[in-house]
């Protein structure tokens, strides 16, 4: 399996898993950067420009390789955001992160090709598309033209319809085939660096999420790195009858399972704890492999 990503000519080695920190941002009426208003986890809310910098600085200091900037909520039943508003939310943030943290790899979390193009123009290094190209027919060609890595997430429908689109003849086989078909399209267009995300919570119910996580290693046959994003999602807190704010421990448990099953990138709200999981799983897998 490919274990590197080419970021502007610099190879990022994913043989040791990496962590992606989540930064959801939006401008308020005063032009101050706030998190997406309906972001489901209050701890990710960035209240102003300097706070956004501090959050990014904290995530990088704790070991994040990637910073994922999004301005459009994609939780189930979330209201849509106009393209102009999404651009106003994310472009200043991407540009400022690129200027202040040149060592960071900035990801633009969008399903719109035009937003991806403009974000890359001001400093984003890769595109994270929660729609897997389904919501913008121009996305695949745009990514190919930009020559940047692409995170392909499995999903169906829109945030407003995806909860009704979770019927599968065979969950693992169907998700695998749908991702394989999209990867083939991307390869044909010349996209070289692809990361697959199974889309936990997107057109899947809670039990289906756990099946996919348990069977994550099966998806290594895609021959691309796997990103897992389960951080503080309802598959954790609803099953435990707690709130998203109390779901860090559950998140760490599932991140550990993901690492053991082959995840190359963890997308999280809590970087330090995710990095600890990466380090401990690495020790578990690599310590004492040679007899003494």
Give one word for 226, left, alpha or beta, with left for phi > 0 and alpha for psi -120 to 50: beta
Sign of CA dihedral 246, 249, 252, 253: negative
Alpha carbon dihedral 142, 147, 148, 154, in 10-degree steps, equals: 50
Q: Are 238 and 244 in contact (CB under 8 A)?
A: no
Burial 97-123 (b: 16+ CB within 10 A, else e): bbeebeebbbbbbbbbbebbbbbbebb
CB atoms within 10 A of CB 3: 14
In sequence order, which ranges of the chain are alpha helices (DSSP H)?
A: 49-61, 83-100, 113-121, 139-146, 171-189, 206-214, 234-240, 248-260, 271-286
CA–CA gap between residue 102 and residue 77 (Å, rounded): 36
**Sign (positive or negative) of CA dihedral 63, 3, 210, 165:** positive
The set of residues, in sequence order, having a beta carbon less than 8 Å from that of 228 and lying 6+ positions away, is 197, 198, 200, 213, 216, 255, 258, 263, 265, 266, 267
Burial class of residue 85 in the structure, from the number of CB atoms within 10 Å of its CB (0-12 exposed, 13-18 middle, 19+ buried)? middle
- Residues acting as catalytic residues: 233, 267
Q: Which of 14, 34, 10, 11 is closest to 24 using CA atoms?
A: 34
């Amino acid at each position: 399996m490919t274990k590197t990503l080419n970021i502007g000519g610099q190879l990022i080695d994913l043989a040791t898993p990496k962590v992606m920190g989540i930064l959801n941002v939006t401008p308020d009426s005063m032009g101050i950067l706030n998190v997406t208003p309906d972001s489901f986890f209050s701890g990710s809310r960035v209240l102003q420009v300097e706070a956004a910098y501090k959050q990014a600085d904290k995530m990088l200091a704790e070991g994040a390789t990637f910073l994922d900037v999004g301005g459009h909520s994609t939780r189930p039943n979330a209201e849509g955001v106009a393209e102009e508003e999404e651009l106003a939310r994310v472009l200043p943030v991407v540009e400022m992160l690129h200027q202040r943290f040149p060592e960071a790899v900035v990801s633009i979390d969008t399903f719109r090709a035009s937003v991806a193009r403009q974000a890359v123009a001001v400093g984003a290094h890769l595109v994270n598309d929660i729609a897997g190209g389904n919501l913008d027919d121009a996305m695949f060609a745009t990514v190919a033209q930009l020559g940047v890595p692409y995170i392909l997430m499995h999903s169906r429908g829109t945030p407003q319809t995806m909860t009704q689109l979770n019927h599968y003849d065979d969950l693992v086989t169907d998700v695998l085939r749908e991702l394989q078909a999209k990867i083939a399209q991307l390869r044909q267009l010349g996209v070289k660096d692809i990361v697959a995300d199974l889309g936990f919570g997107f057109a899947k119910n809670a039990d289906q999420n756990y099946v996919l996580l348990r069977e994550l290693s099966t998806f290594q046959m895609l021959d691309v790195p796997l990103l897992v994003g389960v951080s503080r999602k309802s598959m954790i807190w609803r099953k435990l009858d707690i709130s998203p704010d109390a779901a860090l421990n559950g998140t760490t448990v599932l991140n550990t399972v993901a690492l053991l099953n082959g995840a190359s990138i963890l997308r999280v709200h809590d970087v330090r704890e995710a990095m600890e999981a990466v380090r401990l799983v690495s020790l578990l897998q690599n310590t004492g492999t040679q007899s003494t």
